[in-house]
Amino acid sequence: MRPHDENIENYGKLCRERTNKSMNKSRQIQVIDNDNGTHMRPMPGMIIAAEKKKAPAKTSDTKRTRRDRGEMEDIMFKLFERQSNWTLRQLIQETDQPEQFLKDILKDLCIYNNKGTNQGTYELKPEYKKATD
């Protein structure tokens, strides 16, 4: 695009004014005398970002001890009789076993649901379901 030839001088003036306006700083700094800083202090109703963040949930400080694998399988079958789908966190709380040990057992006994209404949960493999029915 080009401006019309008769308005070229007005257009040049407009561009210079626009550039000069952008170079002028509109903000000013003002020093306040005899200020005790009351306007900078947080008021009781204000929420501070540091307080807003929750501390990460810590697991128990004591290490979990592994039970015998056969005993753990019996416990797992009893849990799955009570409820058909469990999340890993729920199982860790119920059994109080180390996460990796529990995952190994779950790999053998259960199917992990990736999709559907029970997404993110474990359920018994069909061959074990028939045995419990």
- In this prediction, residues 39-55 reach a mean pLDDT of 63
The predicted pLDDT at position 102 comes to 92
Task: Give me the pLDDT at residue 13, please.
Answer: 92
**DSSP-assigned states of every residue in 29-45:** --PPSS--SGGGSPPTT
92-127 as b/e, with b when 16 or more CB fall inside 10 Å?
A: bebbebeeebbbebbeebbeeeeeeeeeebbbbeee
The pLDDT assigned to 60 comes to 54
Q: Where are the beta strands (DSSP E) in the chain?
A: 110-112, 122-124
What confidence tens digit (pLDDT) does each residue in 81-127 have?
998 899 999 999 989 899 999 999 999 999 999 988 889 999 998 88
Residue 25's pLDDT is 80
Say whether pLDDT at 131 is over 60: no
Percent of the chain residues topping a pLDDT of 70: 79
Whole-structure pTM value: 0.50
- pLDDT class for 24, splitting at 50, 70, 90? confident
pLDDT bin (cut points 50, 70, 90) of residue 27 is: confident
The structural domains of the chain, with segments of one domain joined by +, span: 69-128
Higher per-residue confidence, 91 vs 31: 91
CATH number assigned to the domain with residue range 69-128, chosen from the 4 options 1.10.3720.10, 2.30.140.10, 1.10.10.10, 3.10.20.30: 1.10.10.10
